[in-house]
Amino acid sequence: MDIFIPYLFFFLLLPFSIYLILFFHKEASDDTKNLPPGTKGWPVLGENIDLGLLGLSKFIRDRMEKYSPDVFQTSLLGDKVVVFCGAQGNKMIFNNDGKLVIPWLPFSLRKIVLPDFDVNSPYEDAIGLFRNFQYDILKPEALRQYIPVMDALARTHLRDCWKPHPSVKAQPLINNYTFELACRLFLNVTDPERLQKISRPFAPMRNGLMSLPIDLPWTAYGRGIKAGKMVRAELTKIVEARREEGREKRDLLSMILELKDEEGKCVSVNKITNFFVGLMVASYDSTASAMTSVVFFLAEYPHVYEELLKEQMAIAKSKAPGENLTWEDIEKMKYSWNVVREALRLVPTAPGTFKEAMADISFAGFTIPKGMKTFWTPHSTHNNPEYFPEPEKFDPSRFEGSGPAPYTFVPFGGGARICPGRTYAKLAILVMVHNLVTKFRIEKAIPHEKMVVEVMAAPSHGLLLHLDPH
């Protein structure tokens, strides 16, 4: 399902020079005069080295200062890329999906997540299924029923994997919980053996997405393609078994099995599998990493933890022991949600996406020619003092009242392609946070353990925490 792939593209923003030499030779045509300012950097390597050294956030900020706060040109992955910046740039991209820009995705990535015969399928192929899915199944009303499941699983997870230990490495545990949750909610897979079968090849598959696309048996990319096939095979088995079983309209898979196309035909098993591979990849890393950074900031700033604890304890006290959280409880988590949003502002877990210009675009006095690759990123606004005074400060109160100006806080993108999983992510994170803080005080075992940016920002030692049960 190609639709999910633009979202994954940020993995390829890595400083991989060989990648560029081998795989991207094409240059967009250069006959337009009025291009945005910027440098193409080194031949072939472009500015990937700078990007690798500086990190995306600083890379973007430096160039906005040097060239233009609205739009600049750079060269990444061997292609010239125009980066749209600021609230106006975001607005331009978000409001012109399908009019001036379409998602752009690399062949190498398709090869891992799609079966061979779908690798060249047109982008629009999957949109029907996706639109149905987006509007029917990830809507708040449908998500309501997920909350008790999330809550029950969070409780079991904390009881079994956190509570027995005086200290834990939080990040791998959070990853594990997020994966289990997605499998349970989307596929009704709870059997540990099945979970293992999907999750084992999942890690090499993701590593493949982030590696040099050289398809040999011993490269990460080669292993990624192989693991991708295993993940697909496992998911296909699940889909086929469920199609046999009949459909109770209760989880995501059963709803998709009921969808019909214009001719009244069911969606093919292959399409459904593509869909789930995309969904698992899109939902898993970003949610787990956001959850990790929320816990990271809670451990770093005790006053934030205390304030959040107060809110969560009031909710806990209003419920019978063991009673599940509800949508109404989530709505009371106002301060907590501001904490989550502030964490997403400082550490946006999706660095932005690439699009391709469908027509010549006039923007900020420049012309971006048809066919040009473009990029938008939360890093052009999230750390901008114009929109967020003292941007490096962790301050959840920024989101009080009317909150940030439009198009400045954009961790989930915006417009037609805004992340359809954003409410799911909100629920998953808040439910986990509720259970965590009402059970433990947390303290960093490595004082001020830092966030480091590799593929995604992550705590340098996996977020080692001391746990102190209430």
Ligand X SMILES: *[C@@H]1O[C@H](CO)[C@@H](O)[C@H](O)[C@H]1NC(C)=O
Q: Binding partner of residue 161 among ligand X, ligand HEM, none, CB under 5 to 8 Å per kind?
A: ligand X
Q: Binding partner of residue 419 among ligand X, ligand HEM, none, CB under 5 to 8 Å per kind?
A: ligand HEM
Q: Which is nearer to ligand HEM, 73 or 90 (CB)?
A: 90
DSSP single-letter state for residue 264: S
Q: Least separation, in Å, of the C-beta of 279 and ligand X?
A: 17
Q: Least separation, in Å, of the C-beta of 350 and ligand HEM?
A: 4
- The label of the residue with tokens 């740039």 reads 89
Q: Binding partner of residue 7 among ligand HEM, ligand X, none, CB under 5 to 8 Å per kind?
A: ligand HEM
Q: How many CA atoms lie within 13 A of 273 on its CB side?
A: 23
Q: Binding partner of residue 62 among ligand X, ligand HEM, none, CB under 5 to 8 Å per kind?
A: none
Q: Which is nearer to ligand X, 169 or 370 (CB)?
A: 169
Q: Binding partner of residue 290 among ligand HEM, ligand X, none, CB under 5 to 8 Å per kind?
A: ligand HEM
Q: Least separation, in Å, of the C-beta of 150 and ligand HEM?
A: 12
Q: Least separation, in Å, of the C-beta of 94 and ligand HEM?
A: 7
Q: Which residues bind ligand HEM (CB under 6 A)?
A: 3-4, 6-7, 103, 279, 282-283, 286-287, 290, 349-350, 353, 411-413, 417, 419-421, 424-425
| In contact, 168 and 162? CB cutoff 8 Å | yes
Give which of 274, 312, 293, 236 is closest to 125, Cα–Cα.
274
Q: Binding partner of residue 250 among ligand X, ligand HEM, none, CB under 5 to 8 Å per kind?
A: ligand X
First to last CA, the chain: 45
Q: Cβ of 199: how many Cβ atoms within 10 Å?
A: 19
Q: Least separation, in Å, of the C-beta of 396 and ligand X?
A: 29
Q: Binding partner of residue 411 among ligand X, ligand HEM, none, CB under 5 to 8 Å per kind?
A: ligand HEM
Q: Which is nearer to ligand X, 121 or 207 (CB)?
A: 207
Q: Which is nearer to ligand HEM, 63 or 355 (CB)?
A: 355
Q: Binding partner of residue 224 among ligand X, ligand HEM, none, CB under 5 to 8 Å per kind?
A: none
- Residue 447, φ and ψ in degrees, nearest 5: -55, 135
In whole angstroms, give the CA distance from residue 79 to residue 276.
30
- Residue 301, φ and ψ in degrees, nearest 5: -120, 95
Q: Least separation, in Å, of the C-beta of 418 and ligand HEM?
A: 6
- Residue 278, φ and ψ in degrees, nearest 5: -60, -45
Q: Which residues bind ligand X (CB under 6 A)?
A: 148-149, 152, 161, 172-173, 176, 188, 192, 195, 248, 250-251, 254, 322-324
DSSP 118-166: GTT--GGGGHHHHHHHHHHHSSHHHHTTHHHHHHHHHHHHIIIIITT-S
Q: Least separation, in Å, of the C-beta of 286 and ligand HEM?
A: 4
- In degrees, rounded to 5, the angle at the alpha carbon of residue 463 between the alpha carbons of residues 462 and 464 is 105
- Residue 71, φ and ψ in degrees, nearest 5: -165, 135
In whole angstroms, give the CA distance from residue 85 to residue 72.
8
Q: Which is nearer to ligand HEM, 330 or 467 (CB)?
A: 330
Would residue 164 be called left, alpha or beta, if left means φ above 0 and alpha means ψ between -120 and 50 degrees?
A: alpha
Report whether 419 belongs to an annotated binding site.
yes
Cite the DSSP H helix spans in 246-333. 252-258, 269-300, 302-317, 327-332
Q: Which is nearer to ligand HEM, 139 or 393 (CB)?
A: 139
Q: Least separation, in Å, of the C-beta of 185 and ligand HEM?
A: 9
Q: Which is nearer to ligand X, 188 or 423 (CB)?
A: 188
Q: Which is nearer to ligand HEM, 316 or 411 (CB)?
A: 411
Amino acid letter, residue 413? G
Token pair listed for 316:
């806990």
Angle between helix 269-300 and 192-209 (nearest 10): 80
Bind-site residues for heme:
419
Could you list the residues known to form a binding site, using ranges.
419
